[in-house]
Homo-oligomer: A and B are copies of this chain.
Amino acid sequence: MARTNKSQYALLGLLSKSPMSGYDIKSLMQKMSQFYWSESNAQIYPTLKKLENEEMLTSSLDQSSGKREKRIYSITPQGKAKLMKWLKEPAEPSVYREELLLKLNLGQHVPDSEIKQWIQDHLIGLQAKQITLNAIIKHVQEDHEGRPDQPYLLMTYDFYIHQINANIRWCRESLEKLN
């Protein structure tokens, strides 16, 4: 329905686990959720300020960092309430716009050899993703042992394991069909 701003929930979500800076959020997303969620600086910093204005977050300068201005954000009870309210709403289904598929259905205009190249390239990308994902999972299994979010993180990654495997199978089968 209403296109609600989901970035803010991504930020509130991370901050519901522990206080951190904008920079930390950026790094953590890059490291942990690059597959299903990431934000740019131009999205993160203004959103943090907006949420602080709305009293969903509070912040303070990290003294230990000396002259380097590191601002640590923490979630407030209102922020937590907002997050919980959102969690109770049904998740909106996402539209998966895949450029490869848009090109593929125009396959009649190009030689099959070129299409095979597209799929080959796609496959290579998937295999790289697979490696990264496995490294992340290993990290979560080892370093998040006993943490309350561990099982849910693993379940999230498992979604992508399934997805990537399915995509890889499709690539292989499609390449065969084209031969």
Residues in A lying within 8 Å of B, measured CB to CB:
6, 9-10, 13, 16-17, 33, 35-38, 83-84, 86-88, 90-110, 114-115, 118, 121-122, 125, 148-149, 151-153, 155-156, 158-159, 162-163, 165-167, 169-170, 173-174, 177
Contact = CB atoms under 8 A, between A and B. Distances in A.
A148 B83 contact: no
A120 to B, nearest CB: 11
Contacts of A170: 158-159, 162-163
B91 A100 contact: yes
A126 to B, nearest CB: 9
Given A122-B91, A165-B166, A99 B156 contact: no
A125 B145 CA distance: 33
Nearest to A165: B166
Given A105-B13, A159-B101, A96 B36 contact: yes
Given A83-B109, A96-B94, A122-B91, A101 B156 contact: yes
